């Protein structure tokens, strides 16, 4: 289980930006951009939570705080009761994180990249071989394992990145827009893999702009707008609040009403 409580994160604005301010975003104030103002949600064992929101809402900043890549200004992130803000090393061991900007080592093959990260997490010998072979088969990677990463297609790179993120069998998996730019076949492989994580009891949080993925996979959703979580609940509650059975329309209603508050 992962529990997120009252996350906040701000970034210092440049003097030039502050002087020539043209943005109407209320999060720009006092010389800072308040990317995340108040975000809270939780994801239980064997749950998939979809993190939704417009571009610039604060989703990626939130996920980067969950991964310990960023330190919150305030708030708590609890994994099975342990605060990973206070103990980021524990967080890196128990959380698997796929970022939209995570790169691979181009000179290494797909296989070498995954095995390298496995060793960083302490896997070796038979355990490393068994774990990697399972991931390579599950993610349908066997045809390109020996290709250098800088020659892989977008879909091949994404499969390799996902294997790298979960090779240490994390307690929680966080995926930032994992299907963006993928072809239909690769997308289905990724979605099937998320279902398998759920079946294994692993909490999964993933951000997406594709509401069809949410309908297929998610037990619940959290909506973030302008750095604030304005909804958390299951899909029935989401449709009820949005007054529409079609998720895209329900989402638009929830966002409009959050912005009118």
Residue 230 sits in a domain whose CATH number is 3.40.50.300
Report the domain count for the chain: 1
Q: Is residue 253 assigned to a domain?
A: yes
pLDDT of residue 25: 79
Residue at 148 is within a domain: no
Distance CA 76, CA 257 (A): 27
pLDDT of the chain along its 261 residues, tens only?
999 999 999 999 987 766 666 667 789 998 999 999 999 999 999 999 999 999 999 999 999 999 999 999 999 999 999 999 999 999 999 999 998 766 799 999 999 999 999 999 999 999 999 999 999 999 999 999 999 999 999 999 999 999 999 999 999 999 999 999 899 999 999 999 999 999 999 999 999 999 999 999 999 999 999 999 999 999 999 999 999 999 999 999 999 998 876
Q: Parallel, antiparallel, or unpaired: how do β-strands 172-176 and 95-98 relate? A: parallel
Residue 14, Cβ density class (10 Å: 0-12 exposed, 13-18 middle, ≥19 buried): exposed
> Is the CB of residue 139 less than 8 Å from the CB of residue 189?
yes
241 falls within a domain? yes
Are 106 and 149 within 8 A, CB to CB? yes
Sequence-ordered strand ranges (E) for the chain: 2-12, 28-29, 32-43, 48-52, 74-79, 82-83, 95-98, 172-176, 204-207, 220-225, 228-234
Does residue 154 sit within a domain?
no
Give domain status of residue 117, yes or no. no
Give domain status of residue 181, yes or no: yes
Count CA atoms within 13 Å of residue 51 on its CB side: 31
- Total Cβ atoms within 10 A of residue 126: 8
Question: Would 61 be classed as within a structural domain?
Answer: yes
Identify the pLDDT of residue 21: 62
pLDDT at 117: 96
- For the record, the structure tokens of 219 come out as 């037990």
Q: What is the pLDDT of residue 102?
A: 67
Instruction: Say if CB 6 and CB 75 are below 8 A apart.
Output: yes
Is position 88 within any domain?
A: yes
The pTM of this model reads: 0.93
Range of the domain at 73: 2-12+25-105+171-260
Strand intervals (E) in 114-203: 172-176
Note the pLDDT of residue 16: 72
> How do strand 32-43 and strand 2-12 relate by DSSP bridges?
antiparallel
């Amino acid at each position: 289980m992962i529990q997120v409580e009252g996350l906040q994160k701000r970034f210092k604005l440049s003097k030039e930006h502050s002087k020539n301010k043209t943005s109407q975003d209320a999060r720009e104030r006092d010389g800072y951009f308040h990317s995340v103002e108040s975000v809270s949600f939780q994801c239980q064992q064997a749950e998939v939570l979809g993190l939704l929101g417009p571009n610039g809402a604060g989703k990626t900043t939130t996920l980067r705080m969950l991964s310990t890549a960023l330190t919150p200004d305030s708030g708590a992130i609890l994994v099975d009761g342990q605060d990973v803000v206070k103990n980021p090393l524990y967080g890196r061991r128990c959380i698997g994180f796929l970022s939209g900007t995570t790169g691979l080592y181009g000179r290494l093959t797909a296989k070498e990249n995954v095995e390298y990260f496995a060793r960083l997490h302490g896997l070796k010998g038979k355990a490393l071989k068994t774990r990697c072979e399972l991931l390579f088969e599950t993610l349908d990677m066997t045809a390109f394992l020996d290709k250098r990463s800088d020659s892989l297609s977008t879909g091949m790179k994404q499969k390799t990145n996902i294997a790298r993120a979960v090779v240490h069998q994390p307690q929680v998996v966080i995926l930032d827009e994992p299907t963006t730019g993928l072809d239909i076949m690769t997308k289905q492989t990724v979605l099937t893999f998320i279902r398998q994580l759920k079946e294994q009891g692993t909490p999964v949080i993933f951000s997406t702009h594709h509401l069809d993925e949410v309908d297929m996979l998610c037990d619940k959703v959290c909506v973030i707008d302008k750095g604030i979580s304005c909804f958390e609940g299951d899909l029935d509650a989401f449709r009820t609040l949005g007054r529409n059975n079609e998720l895209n329309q329900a989402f638009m209603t929830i966002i409009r009403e959050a912005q009118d508050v």
